Structure 1
């Protein structure tokens, strides 16, 4: 028998160190060639580290959350033969691990002739086998909060994500199925004395560092404007009714992107990045719009490149593609960097006003709040209109307050008179 040592790979682009996010193996495990052993994170992207050999895990080189240098020992494996001792594998873009197959759980045979209602009754009677009380279920902070609000103990919930991670879909499945009293989570009004410590590692650590750095370095100021989008919403619905089947459904986002692109022609100082160490502002001709996207692991900002050259449907399709890639942890490093201005929206949860944080080194971020119907005065008459606020933030070191207000007013004018979006 020999020993094979896998070193932390060189992921490229001059990166000297990465953060170890998660192990998928433990000491004593027998692993196969190409099996993913760990996730690591660079400044932007998460990558998987596969094993180039089959063997038995002898030692792990670090703990989740530890920052490791490229070339340091990651994992030691016992292999047949003399072993290669040192190897540096190529890192692969992160892809979700396949859900555990049903055969991993004890099978429950059901008579073939049993009717659907009878089968449902049998399933309802079967108690859920929880994890050991000391076993900590893997789940994102968002999943944990949702479970806490619903009064669900995560140790009763089967996780279908990588390494048994509990996803939102798993909570949905748990809530939708009847459970026996043996497996029920305590009621929402039951007294609780438990607590939980969540390590700030991986993407959550990167988010925390970027937000702290942005608030420390940027002279933030926010500007909120109310917009009547009744005409825009009517146009969107008409276009979807006519072209939705052939071209895809349009949300408000591609219209907002178009309005930003047109307005930025008169405000180049807002489509800019600021290198505050070199004291250089770069004004960009291309409009690369960052699309703030919330996933199970936290906030990511995939980039819609060259929005100025995209059609309404072309931009809509690309927004959906990069946002889905980010949510599924498949976005490349290039797709997560290089934005010149950011658009952020919480959709139906957008509230009335927000104060988004500038995505440095950019100098502006446009925030979209919830659309609501409410009475407004138009030409002396009270009428019901569809209203929405834009809550936007700017770097006051680069953008003057007057310029920010005029820019948002220009966006407002384009959205309230949507024909102007397409007049050159």
Structure 2
């Protein structure tokens, strides 16, 4: 028998470490060659680790949420026969031994993977007595501890309950109170739930870190404009009627096409700002990030060279990237390199939003919910009439270090002209 140490391989792209986001094996499990060991996250891409040998898992490097350095031991597998010296054990020059993980071990967060050892039990410190406080109205009412607890769970103030005899509130008095006030707002809204602690790991932690860095470093400002999308929605419906095998057009391909049409005139919006170097890079191509909600959290797949695609091609790419992100199949290349981002909550888009910029970008655009409302519309005869129109607000957040308010407002007004006259989007 021998032991094979599987070290975290070089995943590429200059990655120095990766985070454990899921284990597929535990100590004592048998794993076959090419069997799944763990899912490791680098940036926003998740990479599946597979076993190069068959055997029994005897040691693992930590818990989900722990960070492992490239080249550090991840799993130790007991195999039949002997293995070469380099793989048979963990040398002191490489890293400390990883210990077998039992039930809920305490794992180090050191990227060099130090030894993992269970935390010894410690006696619970005594709790000092609570300071005396003035009695509440409920505490002055005579009742047993069980009755008090039940009243608290039901949200009933004992001072409002009239006892049937001798001034002491009993369970029967609570029952009578509930019966008398049925439907009067005294019933509990919902059952009391248990508190829960959830570790922030993997993609959710990366999102939290990126959003915090964006708000910490970027002076955001927001601009919101209302758009009449009645004509655009009519155009969209007509195109969808004859689409054949092509994907159904939503609002997004039209919005993206309009944005791409305007950005050559507003290059300061399609840019990255390196605040450490003090350099703004304006891009000639539009690599448009498309914020997508997935079971794992928010991801931003990228439509490469969006300016060179027509409506149908944009719709197909939106669907392909959205499916890949939701299924966890999006590659690292598909999740990086955006130059400007669009974020949409679809029918839940609300009246207006103030989206957080996808750093190091300098602008993010968020369409909101389409609603119908009466509006004054001037007819061909010059007379204004009230008509039912479909309207939508579009929100922008910009980096005020790079984008001036005048630039954002001018872009929004030019975008309004395209959206409200969709034929202009389609012409060259």
In structure 2, the CA distance between the partners of 1:313 and 1:18, relative to structure 1 (3 Å rule), is same
d(CA) in 2 for partners of 1:305, 1:7? 35
Q: Secondary structure of 1:39's match?
A: strand
Select between 56-65 and 77-86 the one with higher mean Cα deviation. Answer: 77-86
Whether the 8 Å contact between 1:33 and 1:53 is mirrored in structure 2 is yes
Structure 1, unaligned runs of 5 or more: 88-133, 136-187
Structure 2, unaligned stretches of length 5 or more?
88-102, 105-187, 379-383
More helix by proportion, 1 or 2? 1
Alpha-carbon distance between aligned partners in 2 of 1:85 and 1:322, rounded to the nearest angstrom = 45
Match of residue 200 from structure 1: 200
Aligned pair in 2 of structure 1 residues 195, 85: CA closer, same or farther (>3 Å)? farther
After superposition, what is the alpha-carbon deviation per residue over 1:98-132, rounded to whole angstroms, capped at 9, x for unaligned? xxxxxxxxxxxxxxxxxxxxxxxxxxxxxxxxxxx
Aligned twin of 1:293 = 292
Question: What is the TM-score of this pair, normalised by structure 2?
Answer: 0.74
Kindly name which structure, 1 or 2, has the bigger radius of gyration based on alpha carbons: 2
> Which residue number corresponds to residue 310 of structure 2?
311
Please state whether the residue corresponding to 1:329 is helix, strand or coil.
coil
Report the Cα distance in structure 2 between the residues aligned to 1:84 and 1:18, rounded to whole angstroms. Answer: 26
Whole-angstrom distance in 2 between the partners of 1:82 and 1:302: 45
1:411 to 408, 412, 415: 415
State the distance in 1 between where 2:376 and 2:84 align: 78
SS in 2 for 1:421: helix
CA distance in 1, matches of 2:250, 2:12: 37
Deviations 1:385-405 (A, max 9, x none): 010010110000000000001
Aligned partners of 2:210, 2:292: CA distance in 1, in Å? 15
Give the whole-Å Cα distance in 2 for the aligned partners of 1:422 and 1:373.
Answer: 25
Q: Considering only aligned residues, what root-mean-square deviation do their CA atoms show, in Å?
A: 1.6
**Structure 2 counterpart of 1:38:** 38
When residues 382 and 52 of structure 1 are mapped into structure 2, their CA distance, relative to the original with a 3 A threshold, is same
1:50-129 matches, cutoff 5 A: 50-84=50-84
Which is worse superposed, 219-228 or 375-384? 375-384
Which ranges of 4 or more aligned residues in structure 1 deviate by more than 4 Å?
84-87
Cα-to-partner distance string for 1:209-239 (whole Å, 9 max, x where unaligned): 0000000011100100000000000000000
- The offset of 1:423, in angstroms, is 2.4
- Which has the larger displacement, 323-332 or 202-211? 323-332
The range that moved more, 377-386 or 325-334, is: 377-386
| 1:5 and 1:85 in contact (8 A); partners too | no
Alignment-derived partner of residue 369 in structure 1: 368
Give the C-alpha shift of residue 384 in structure 1.
0.5
For the Cα contact (< 8 Å) 1:20–1:64, is it kept in 2? yes
Structure 2 matches for 1:271-350, cutoff 5 A? 271-350=270-349
1:210 equivalenced with 2:210 (yes/no)? yes
Aligned pair count? Answer: 325
TM-aligned CA deviation for residue 248 of structure 1: 2.1
1:189 CA displacement: 5.1
> Deviations for 1:238-297, whole angstroms, at most 9, x for unmatched residues?
000012x23221111110000101111211111111111111111111001000000011
Q: Say whether the 8 Å CA contact 1:60–1:74 is kept in structure 2.
A: yes
Corresponding residue of 1:266 = 265
Deviation of 1:422 (Å)? 2.1
Alignment-derived partner of residue 400 in structure 1? 404
Alignment counterpart, residue 388 of structure 2, candidates 384, 402, 410: 384
Distance 2:257 2:67 in 1: 41
Instruction: Give, in angstroms, the shift of residue 64 of structure 1.
Output: 1.0
Q: How far apart are residue 316 of structure 1 and its match?
A: 1.0
Q: What is the match of residue 241 of structure 2? A: 241
